Amino acid sequence: MQLVIGNKNYSSWSMRPWVLMRALGLPFEERMLRFDFHDANSRFSAEAAKLSPTARVPVLLEADGFAVWDSLAMAERLHECFPNAGVWPADPRQRARARSLCASMHSGFGKLRSLCPMNIEADLRDIGRQLVAQEPGLRADLQQLEALWLPELTAHGGPWLFGAAFCAADAFFAPVAMRVKGYGLPLAPPAQAYVEALSQQSAVQEWVQAALGEHHWVPEDEPYRQGPSSGQL
Ligand SMILES: N[C@@H](CCC(=O)N[C@@H](CS)C(=O)NCC(=O)O)C(=O)O
């Protein structure tokens, strides 16, 4: 399989299936389409349009070129192709709950997503403080994270949402962990501990290290930093 992704520093949607496949040890080849939306002759847009009708990443390409787009659909396809890999928890109710969490992530958290776009290399804690003070919608999203995470962490004993095994639900929240850290967003201690565990997870770390080595400035993904020279505002 080939997983087509965007810039590791910015592409939160790409991070989800990449981290999931890497964490579960599923074989895949990676291909990066670098973001260049500002270019009228954007190579990203042209190449992405060849791969899926959405012209977005990530895209999962099977050996014969069959394309699966959208990260949630990818999780389900991976579960079909590798039923014993642990994409979802083995217990049916935990599986339903894990899907609920992923779907909630997928369709919600509008304020967290729009106000705090993923930017792994940037230190945006000053901005984060201002946003939390000024944006009730962002505070509501943070409360929603705690409401989704804490019952599962308590019920299954952590360190992951459904116990000892890392699954798609954890991978789906990996970019959220990057935002919580980058913007210094406040969460209750058990939720903060989960963010820390996610940040230290080996596949997440591998992604982060690659993101830190990129240094590709994408203006559309930089609402806060003034220039590419540093992680400063
Ligand atoms: N819901 C989609 C979202 C995909 C998405 O929005 N990808 C962004 C990059 S993170 C993209 O390709 N943007 C390019 C564009 O908007 O032209 C998924 O889960 O895969």
Pocket residue to mutate for ligand 1, from 16, 56, 74, 179, most atoms within 8 A of Cβ: 56
Closest approach atom of ligand 1 to CA 57: 12
Pocket-forming residues, ligand 1, beta carbon under 6 Å: 6, 11-14, 37, 56-58, 70-71
Where in the sequence of the chain do the CATH 1.20.1050.10 domains occur? Answer: 92-210
Residue labelled with tokens 């565990």: 197
Cβ neighbour number for residue 63 with a 10 Å cutoff: 7
For ligand 1, atom 17: residue with the closest CA:
56
Distance, CA 91 to ligand 1 centroid (Å)? 31
pLDDT at 74 over 70: yes
Q: Do 58 and 17 touch, CB atoms closer than 8 A?
A: yes
Q: What does the pLDDT average to over 86-93?
A: 98
> DSSP readout, 168-229?
HHHHHHHHHHHHHHHTT----HHHHHHHHHHHHSHHHHHHHHHHHTT----GGG-SS-S-TT
Distance, CA 156 to ligand 1 centroid (Å)? 32
pTM over 0.75: yes
Closest approach atom of ligand 1 to CA 6: 9
Interatomic CA distance for residues 11 and 16, integer angstroms: 9
**Domain covering 2-86, topology:** Glutaredoxin (3.40.30)
Where in the sequence of the chain do the CATH 3.40.30.10 domains occur? Answer: 2-86
Distance, CA 164 to ligand 1 centroid (Å)? 30
Distance, CA 56 to ligand 1 centroid (Å)? 5
Position 229 scores a pLDDT of 60
Position 194 scores a pLDDT of 98
Structure tokens at 94: 């935990």
Per-residue b or e along 167-200, where b marks 16 or more CB atoms closer than 10 Å to that residue's CB: bbbbbbbbbbbbbbbbbbbebeeebbebbebbee
Pocket residue to mutate for ligand 1, from 8, 11, 12, 13, most atoms within 8 A of Cβ: 13
pLDDT at 227 over 50: yes
Q: Do 66 and 2 touch, CB atoms closer than 8 A?
A: no
Interatomic CA distance for residues 210 and 6, integer angstroms: 12
Interatomic CA distance for residues 198 and 163, integer angstroms: 13
Q: Do 79 and 88 touch, CB atoms closer than 8 A?
A: yes
**Domain covering 92-210, topology:** Glutathione S-transferase Yfyf (Class Pi); Chain A, domain 2 (1.20.1050)
Position 18 scores a pLDDT of 98
Q: Do 58 and 18 touch, CB atoms closer than 8 A?
A: yes
> pLDDT by residue (tens digit) across 102-149?
999 999 999 999 999 999 999 999 999 999 999 999 999 999 999 999
